[in-house]
Structure 1
């Protein structure tokens, strides 16, 4: 890439951040089809193998041929810490840059992203210029969307996914079983075989409702974390408000997404890569 790296000739890394359900993956793939780029997952649950529906992994057929890294690579029971992510992400970013491509870091685990960027041990800011695109959707609108998305995940097989890896003595505080949607299904799965039909329906509804509630709570926590990061002087965050897109459906939503999300994001990345002293966050 013919980029302008600034006075210290730093390499460039793009981050796409946002609460769960805001469309970060869609935007990352969209940008990676417009620029020579590869995607690095920073979602702490998507790094594990399995539970593709529960963890909302992007199906391979929707990845548009864009290389994805750090996704579905770990044993479901593995202990994966922030430091592990930082180490693997740093190695992956370097390998992408060596291929003269742009690393796009995308995911909702802002703790991982903050640790990667700000931890002195990785000297990230001394090595790279960073640009952050924040996919923002109002929490009120996102709440309704999250509820709808959980229903879609249930329809796509969420319950059977959880059943297939259910273990009575499983630890819901480690590995992939921490994923929202797994512990919430525990009571339903345990009682399903002995409960009558009415009770099964009530148990399943309660599990789904709890999954929706916990997903929204996660989105709220993520939103507050990003607001904090946005206010830090060394975080160069560009906010894209996609709220109106989520209020539309079908072709109208697609056209509005292109106008309010796609086009502005391309402009941000173009300035970051090719425009000197614009959209660059230095140490």
Structure 2
């Protein structure tokens, strides 16, 4: 099912008459355009959910991951593949020079342009990524963005113990897919891993291995490689914990109304059962939530959809209730 985003932009003027009569109270407020934002720790499925939603709504995706904005290191930064994108246009994904220090201000500028471009096509912008400082800079700190857009936050969350196990296995798969050779291209003889894409987890951790692989015996080489891979796993798990805490802090401090989706069940299953669980506890409820958001339905209906999905109500029923 494809749900179109209505393009509602009404011009508004403020007319103040002498004697205290303020005509503003008689003029409808300009309806803000709507943006969906998908947050979550690394490895929780933000990209998968954003693409799922984009196939169900007339949407395009704006990447908000600090490392994925750069060209290169597709394996190391775990960029979605062309096949995984399923034809959905992605913005700010692998477009920035790898040696540039891409700041929060840069992200606000480029993301705002991307959102405006998507809106001009009558489509729904979905911003997805794990860099919460980018999201905060755009949504909370940029007054112009606040004045134009209303946001719906979807928080993809997984039990931390389960997530740590998952990201550890994911690093092993990345190593099998070519992580080492890819990281070697960005190794730095001066060991400066503070700017650009070289900061990505998976590059600095390999430094000692790259410096010694050609001058040590096979056993030492294997040990150094294992230590580097283990360090990548450790730092990825630490990143997931920091991102989780940052989301909690943003929710508490900024009072963002985040719709939390517990993905743990889907992570515990395999094959078809995992896909069915993903649809029931993540994709289905999210579709209902976004449908309510776009059609200005009561927030209680959103809660009912989420609760219904957990106890097994079909996605089709939830979506129908949300969007009609």
Report whether the alignment pairs 1:96 with 2:118: yes
3-state DSSP of counterpart to 2:56: coil
What is the CA-CA distance between 1:124 and the residue it aligns to? 1.9
Q: 1:141 corresponds to which residue?
A: 162
Give matches, 1:257-276, under 5 Å.
Answer: 257-276=278-297
Give the TM-score taking structure 1 as reference length. 0.94
Deviations 1:185-240 (A, max 9, x none): 00001100011110011000000000000000000000001111222464120000
User: C-alpha distance in 1, partners of 2:56/2:261?
Assistant: 18
Counterparts of 1:244-255 in structure 2, within 5 Å, are 244-255=265-276
What is residue 119 of structure 1 aligned with on the other side? Answer: 141
Any residues of structure 2 matched to 1:142-181 within 5 Å, and which? 142-181=163-202
Relative distance call for 1:234 and 1:4 in structure 2 (3 A) is farther
- Partner residue of 1:23 out of 45, 48, 51: 45
2:316 match: none
3-state SS in 1 of match to 2:261: strand
Higher relative contact order (CA 8 A, sep 6+): 1
Which deviates the most, 1-10 or 25-34?
A: 1-10
Is 1:63 aligned to 2:85, yes or no?
Answer: yes
Structure 2: give runs of 5+ residues left out of the alignment.
9-27, 303-324
- Give the aligned partner of residue 74 of structure 2: 52
Do the aligned partners of 1:39 and 1:69 also contact (CA within 8 Å) in 2?
yes
Q: In structure 2, what is the Cα distance between the partners aligned to 1:12 and 1:92?
A: 14
Contact 2:5 2:58 in 1 (8 A): no
Question: Residue in 2 aligned with 1:238?
Answer: 259
1:215 maps to 2:236: yes
**How many residues in Structure 1 have an aligned counterpart in Structure 2?**
279
Structure 1, unmatched stretches of 5+, are none
CA RMSD of aligned residues (A): 1.7
Q: Distance in 2 between matches of 1:2 and 1:251?
A: 32
Shift of 1:278: 3.9
Larger radius of gyration: 2
Give the corresponding residue for 1:14: 36
SS of structure 1 residue aligned to 2:75 = coil
**What TM-score does the superposition give when structure 2 sets the normalisation length?**
0.83
